[in-house]
Amino acid sequence: MRINGHGHILPEPNEIPQFLKDRKLFSIDDDKKFMRQGDWTRPITDPSFFLREKLEWMERYKIDHAVMLNLSQIYCNGWERQETYDTIRWQNDFNAKIQREHPDKFTCGFVVQPLHLEDALKEIERSVEELNLSVLCLPTHFLNAEGEWLTVMDESVFPIFELANHYKLAIEIHPYDGEKMVKLKDEYWRFHLVWMMAQTADALHFFSLKDFVSRFPDIRTCFAHGCMLGQANYGRRLQGYDGRPDLFQGAKDPRNTLGHPNVFFDTLVHDSYTLQLLKIRVGATQIVAGLDDPYPLGEMEGVARSYPGRVIDFAVEAGILTEKESKEIWYDNVLRWLGKSGIEPAK
């Protein structure tokens, strides 16, 4: 059995509420060719952005079950309170409906925005207790009331993690909005290809220094895209921690987090040797299959030699993963991250 731990799904154009379209917060063209937000547009590059086609795509590639995260456009970073409240509730209701109607096929995530803390805490409670969702999706960074970008590991966000810990949730840390944080011209997709990797590594940096694994022992956290830069710069982070203790007062040694059983990374690293580094660093038991479908940076067919599961297959062929490790990455490890013992049978 194969579970994909990282995918995304779009609502049909007619499932998007009018206020989102009117205020240009988010919309999808009626012909389903583009998604839009303010002046930003993105082509909808694969039919499997939508439910029916997603189910067919999963069938075709023998993916039995998949974790659907929130839409990255709906982190609502820097949005005002009421718009955030309405939009996040809509996103979470949408994801809950997908999970409720197809429990055998989907486990869905829900999102909250740390800027509006009180609302975020209430939404966690609603999502868990009323919507039956158990994967909390957070952006790597968010805008605070002073207009500063902070990592989501900031102390002001601790109440969210405390509540997540109370509910023993799975957490997904996913990058977005890099072009708003880094003052560089948006060219050659650099914010997706380079800076996203830095954003996730930055989140892991703070996660380890602030000792999340001991502070919140009942959450299980997964970092998107293998947190590939965070694996490569591990030695540098240690050397900095050891070499300038004056800069790390009260911070925990990052060695404490490495390979921790509650910290997971997905396989969307694009090549077997980066996956090998990930395995060497954290152990195969902490790796979960993640396709990031149906985005063109995900493991999608039609993009050069890509297809769903390619990195895992190549790693097995190259002797980097054993068959057994590969099976566990597709199933057991994803379930451990989710805190589930199995997948619900079809209704």
Nearer to Zn ion, 123 or 292 (CB): 292
Nearer to Zn ion, 177 or 292 (CB): 292
Please, what is the minimum distance in Å from the beta carbon of residue 175 to Zn ion? Answer: 9
Concatenate the DSSP letters of all residues of 194-238 into one string: IIHHHHHHHHHHHHHHTTHHHHSTT-EEEEGGGGHHHHHTHHHHH
Under the criterion CB under 5 A, does residue 292 sit at the interface with Zn ion? yes
Cis peptide before 217 (omega within 30 of 0): no
Residues 243 to 272: which contact Zn ion by CB under 5 A? none
- The one segment of 36-44, 78-86, 284-292, 323-331 that binds Zn ion by CB under 5 A: 284-292
Give which of 347, 338, 294 is closest to 32, Cα–Cα: 294
Please, what is the minimum distance in Å from the beta carbon of residue 292 to Zn ion? Answer: 4
| Three-class secondary structure of residue 169 per DSSP | coil
Please, what is the minimum distance in Å from the beta carbon of residue 143 to Zn ion? Answer: 20
CB 196 within 8 A of CB 145: no
Please name the residues in contact with 294: beta carbons below 8 A apart, sequence gap of 6 or more: 7, 8, 45, 46, 48, 49, 54, 57, 300
- The one segment of 49-57, 205-213, 289-297, 312-320 that binds Zn ion by CB under 5 A: 289-297
- The one segment of 124-132, 292-300, 303-311, 330-338 that binds Zn ion by CB under 5 A: 292-300
Q: Please state, in angstroms and rounded to a whole number, the distance separating the CA atoms of residues 41 and 236.
A: 37
Please, what is the minimum distance in Å from the beta carbon of residue 87 to Zn ion? Answer: 18
Nearer to Zn ion, 171 or 316 (CB): 171
Nearer to Zn ion, 109 or 254 (CB): 109
| Three-class secondary structure of residue 145 per DSSP | coil
Q: Summarize as ranges the residues that interact with Zn ion (CB under 5 A).
A: 292
